[in-house]
Structure 1
Amino acid sequence: MKTLVTGGAGFIGSNLCKLLRSEGHEVVVIDSLLSGYRRNLDFDPDIRFMEADIRDQAAMETAVEGCDAVFHLAAAVGNKRSIDDPRLDADINVMGTVTLMEAARKAGVKRVVVSSSAGIFGELKTLPIAEDHPIDPDSPYGASKLFEEKFSLSYSKLYDIGVVALRYFNVYGVNQRFDAYGNVIPIFAYRMLRGEPVTVFGDGEQTRDFVNVQDVAQANYQAGLADGVSGAFNLGSGTRITINALIGMMEEASGIKAKVEYGPPRPGDVRDSLADLSAARASLGFAPSVNFENGLREYMAWLKADMRD
């Protein structure tokens, strides 16, 4: 199978590329390197890499040529980034998705897997979160991801394209580097390794569903092979922990005592998060397999080595 991974030099994309190559599939990557790293793909010289923006129509049409499946991971990511620069968030996530889907349609691509987000739900009304939970995004990022999801899924109704949208919860793992706008785990890990204080926004009793990137890559792969399946699916671990408990687990995983500071809650942050995985399990065969403690130890060791390079 010939595959295209947009954002393939990024955190999740590079892990998916490694899985696809291990399964013997041809991989093309398009990435602007705005937040990706070319060295994430150094593990395999046979990956065809294109440095280009997903909003570039000509580049996208070249990238999808002859592909059987497309995995769309390129995005402007994060609630706070979108609040600070909503125009950039919309331009990349909305127009990038439009450009991709049109290129895929014209090229006759049969399967597209897009990366959505639990951010589409906004503040939660019930736990765990099933796919039919009310949708009310609290940030431009959540709104742009909702557009990406709905626009892509409309193609599965209009054209001969199977589309699966995966709603990521809090993804963490190898190849996730520090980004001030990013996930809490790399931010905390980076600061702990540098001996800097970590800031908890709120009382620290808010909960998150953390899922390892290896499980997310596996879910993407399974979605790409799930002929006849279209729709949106939640993707998490099906478990949750508080931010305060997370700090304790990171201390244990790293052997470092964190310096913790507390600040006011941030706009756009939800209080609780927990994915219902029933639909993904039934339709995609998804079952998370990475133990959180083991995943944290692996990640902390990887980041420590990466920061030395």
Structure 2
Amino acid sequence: MKLLVTGGAGFIGSHLLELLNSDKNYEVVVLDNLSSGFRENVPQGMRLVVADIRSQEIEALFQKENFDAVVHLAAQTMVPYSIEHPDEDCEINLAGLINVLENCRKYRVKTVLFASSAAVYGNNENVPLHEDLALMPMSFYGITKMTSEHYLRVYHELYGINTVVFRFANVYGERQGEGGEGGVVSIFCKLLAAGKAVTVYGNGEQTRDFVYAGDVAAAIKAGLAARGYQTINVSTEHETSVNQLLGAFAEVAADKLEVRYAETRQGDIFRSALSNARLKEILAVTPQMQLKEGIQKTYHDYVKRGK
């Protein structure tokens, strides 16, 4: 199977490429503009095309390569940035997606896998959140992800493209940047590695669903065999409080852990976890990484890279 992975030189993409590189059934081409990705995240021998998903030059790539499937990870992922720059967020996340989808239509790509987000749910207290709930995003980033899902659905209905929309929970792991939705883990890594205090807004009992990037990669790979149109959460279905997250960090950086509590920030979601029943049922994937081990891997990788 010949695959195009957009945004493949980024954080989640690097874990997917690592997994696919070990399977000779896949020929992978990576498309990335390297605005937040890195060449070293692309395995040796795997082709990297440096280009923007919004560019018309990518048509030549589709025309030449005859891809079987596209994994679309390229995106603007930072919620605060989307609030400050809604025009750019829209241009990258929507116009970029449409450019990719039009090339998929023209050159008869059979399958598209898309990285959506828990941000589409907004502040919904029906935890764990399941895929059939009404969507009410609270940021422009969430809006572009929700709208992208509709574009994908209609491209499936009109042109028969197999589509899997993955709604990621808070993804963390090695090579993670300091932006994006799982950024609290990398922010804690940065502060701890520098011997600085960690600030927690609120009492630390607010929860998130932290899913390891390697488990996300396994879900994406499994999704390549899916047919029709599917919307699937990728999550642990487990609520982890910020205090519990700090407990995991304490075991790997105990001598450096200093915590300060501050007032709750307006607009912050208090509870979040996504149901993973559909992930297990449709793709037969169950996230395996335990938080303690995952945090250990992530922190040691951060220190090793000297960020």
**TM range, smaller chain:** over 0.9
Indicate the RMSD between aligned Cα atoms, in angstroms: 1.7
Task: Please tell me whether residue 27 in structure 1 is matched to residue 28 in structure 2.
Answer: yes
Counterpart of 1:249?
A: 248
8 Å Cα contact 2:248-2:291 kept in structure 1: no
Counterpart of 1:286?
A: 285
Q: Give the letter for the 2:275 counterpart.
A: D
Task: Please tell me whether residue 193 in structure 1 is matched to residue 196 in structure 2.
Answer: no
8 Å Cα contact 1:173-1:299 kept in structure 2: yes
Q: In the TM superposition, what is the alpha-carbon distance from 1:232 to its structure 2 partner?
A: 0.9
Deviations for 1:155-175, whole angstroms, at most 9, x for unmatched residues?
Answer: 111112100000001000011
Deviations for 1:242-278, whole angstroms, at most 9, x for unmatched residues?
Answer: 1122112112123343222333444553211111111
User: What is the SS of the residue equivalent to 2:306?
Assistant: helix
- CA distance, structure 1, for counterparts of residue 173 and residue 236 of structure 2: 13
TM-score normalised according to structure 2 size = 0.94
Question: Structure 1 73/206 Cα, relative in aligned 2: closer, same or farther at 3 Å?
Answer: same
- CA distance, structure 1, for counterparts of residue 276 and residue 293 of structure 2: 21
User: What is the SS of the residue equivalent to 2:82?
Assistant: helix
Counterpart of 1:55?
A: 54
8 Å Cα contact 1:61-1:103 kept in structure 2: no
Question: Structure 1 156/95 Cα, relative in aligned 2: closer, same or farther at 3 Å?
Answer: same
Counterpart of 1:146?
A: 146
Q: In the TM superposition, what is the alpha-carbon distance from 1:211 to its structure 2 partner?
A: 0.3
Counterpart of 1:102?
A: 102
Deviations for 1:208-254, whole angstroms, at most 9, x for unmatched residues?
Answer: 0000000000000011122x242211111111111122112112123
Counterpart of 1:3?
A: 3
- CA distance, structure 2, for counterparts of residue 134 and residue 34 of structure 1: 33
TM-score normalised according to structure 1 size = 0.94
- CA distance, structure 1, for counterparts of residue 270 and residue 92 of structure 2: 27
Question: Structure 1 85/198 Cα, relative in aligned 2: closer, same or farther at 3 Å?
Answer: farther
- CA distance, structure 2, for counterparts of residue 82 and residue 137 of structure 1: 12
8 Å Cα contact 1:192-1:256 kept in structure 2: no
- CA distance, structure 1, for counterparts of residue 55 and residue 79 of structure 2: 25
- CA distance, structure 1, for counterparts of residue 264 and residue 138 of structure 2: 14
8 Å Cα contact 2:2-2:68 kept in structure 1: yes
- CA distance, structure 2, for counterparts of residue 139 and residue 267 of structure 1: 14
Q: Give the letter for the 1:113 counterpart.
A: L
Question: Structure 1 255/203 Cα, relative in aligned 2: closer, same or farther at 3 Å?
Answer: closer
Question: Structure 1 18/188 Cα, relative in aligned 2: closer, same or farther at 3 Å?
Answer: same
Counterpart of 2:114?
A: 114
Task: Please tell me whether residue 298 in structure 1 is matched to residue 297 in structure 2.
Answer: yes
Identity among equivalent pairs (%) = 38
User: What is the SS of the residue equivalent to 2:97?
Assistant: helix
Question: Structure 1 229/253 Cα, relative in aligned 2: closer, same or farther at 3 Å?
Answer: farther
8 Å Cα contact 1:229-1:283 kept in structure 2: no
- CA distance, structure 1, for counterparts of residue 83 and residue 137 of structure 2: 12
User: What is the SS of the residue equivalent to 1:30?
Assistant: strand
Counterpart of 2:208?
A: 208
- CA distance, structure 2, for counterparts of residue 187 and residue 249 of structure 1: 14
User: What is the SS of the residue equivalent to 2:81?
Assistant: helix
Q: In the TM superposition, what is the alpha-carbon distance from 1:14 to its structure 2 partner?
A: 1.1
Task: Please tell me whether residue 273 in structure 1 is matched to residue 272 in structure 2.
Answer: yes
Q: Give the letter for the 1:33 counterpart.
A: L
Compare 29-38 and 114-123 and name the one that shifted more: 29-38
8 Å Cα contact 1:167-1:232 kept in structure 2: yes
- CA distance, structure 1, for counterparts of residue 252 and residue 38 of structure 2: 26
Task: Please tell me whether residue 16 in structure 1 is matched to residue 11 in structure 2.
Answer: no
- CA distance, structure 1, for counterparts of residue 131 and residue 182 of structure 2: 24
Q: Give the letter for the 1:7 counterpart.
A: G
- CA distance, structure 2, for counterparts of residue 224 and residue 262 of structure 1: 44
User: What is the SS of the residue equivalent to 2:3?
Assistant: strand
Compare 249-258 and 109-118 and name the one that shifted more: 249-258
